[in-house]
Amino acid sequence: MTTGGGGGAGARGRLGRAGPGGSGRHFLLTFVCTGNTCRSPMAEAIARRIAARAGIATIRVGSAGTDAWPGQPASEGALRAASGAGLDLTSHRATLLTAEVVAASDLLLCMGRSHLRRVEELGGAQTARLLTEMAGAAGDVPDPFGGNQGVYDAAFAEIERMVRGVLTGADSARGRDAADKPAVYAVLGDPVAHSLSPTIHNAAFRAAGRNAHYIARRVSAGECGAVLRELALVGGGGNVTVPHKERVLPFLDRCTEAVEATGACNTFWAEGGHVWGDNTDVAGFLHSWKRLTADAGDDLDVLLLGAGGAARAVAFALLQCEEVGRIRVRNRSPERARALLRHFADPRIASAPPPPACAPDIVVNATSVGMNGRRSPLDLAALRQAPARVADLVYAPVLTPFCNQARTMGASAVDGREMLVRQAEAAYARWFGEPPPKGAMSRALD
């Protein structure tokens, strides 16, 4: 994964399975047809060339057939069609699609619905897609088997168009009529029904007159990466929320310094054929922090609740603030808290002692506890000394229990609505290269 200050920056990208700084294994893309002698080997060869030219250095490409006879060479028509385009299929030998092939693949692109059903039977329901649907088309990829050379050449050209679009995002409007169908943006998470992101982003799209639509999409751990890339490469983008902000990193080709520094991504889009990721939670939190701590003084002691993607954004932001003297991390999973400490390796950040020994100036809740409006991540009365200020990244229809307790105890408290808006404004700017209409998102929450 290449890092940079924004879209279009950086050199070669990486599509792998490791986070920043890790080696990881390659991302395996497998094309599936029936005999693995026509469509899928042509797609495999096309994808290899496109990936090499696009600088996606560690993607691996393979192919298999649902009814393949192992060891069979590519068909004569496929050989000639590929040769006419400068590709050599003489060394190709057919592979039978098995459960092992499915399990080893990160994404399986199927030529037809019968192939998709077979992949699903072999355990690949979360990682299989129709090539046509990924490319914004409908139906199956036509099978040239038994046709004349003209049929094979036409099939090759169509497969090349679709594979190029999926891998590089070229002609991103192919999956929709730009004059009629809106680009789709989504927040990916689980749970996600509570999210206000569709409300504020659709308000901004309407105010700006953009032909775009934003939805909340619940995705599992196995789905999130493939869905992210699909949305971005067909001309859309979106956001990532709990619990996937760290999990999606291997599916990015490029990332900003904020992603590299936090090990988490909350915003994605495609530019120049590469899928980009940013962490606009950092900018969103800093905006809220500055308002909350305008007269708080220096050498502040901060208690940070949580150790996930949001907590990493907060920690990174706090480490940039001169007024912060110490950050103490408390999380229900001690190992995750230790992982956060190892990630930043800064003397100002350490594990928090038990609540009775804590006397923080400010408490920041970066967990998801409280979004149902019934629970609080910490009983502030259990602290040795009540904090003067509280920031809750959670937002709810009414004031969260955490903020409500803080205000009852005389502390200043802000919930996550302002941060939501500020990070969303920064995400919008990443997608479109300009800020949203002023106040459009804030007014949508009134």
Give the residue numbers marked as catalytic. Answer: 245
Quote the CA–CA distance of 59 and 132 in Å, as a whole number. Answer: 21
Secondary structure (3-state) at 141? coil
**How many Å apart are CA 350 and CA 193, to the nearest integer?**
34
Q: How far apart are CA 222 and CA 433, in angstroms?
A: 31
Report the alpha-carbon distance of residue 443 to residue 446 in Å, rounded.
5
Phi, psi of 71 (to 5 degrees): 95, -10
Q: How far is CA 75 from the centre of its chain?
A: 39
Q: Which residue type sits at 236? A: G
Distance, in Å, from the CA atom of 121 to the CA atom of 140, rounded to the nearest integer, reads 19
The alpha carbons of the chain give a radius of gyration, in whole angstroms, of 25
Residues, the chain, total?
Answer: 446
Name the phi and psi angles at 297, rounded to 5. 90, -165
Residues 414 and 408: their CA atoms lie apart, in Å, by 13
Q: What is the separation, in whole angstroms, between the first and last Cα of the chain?
A: 39
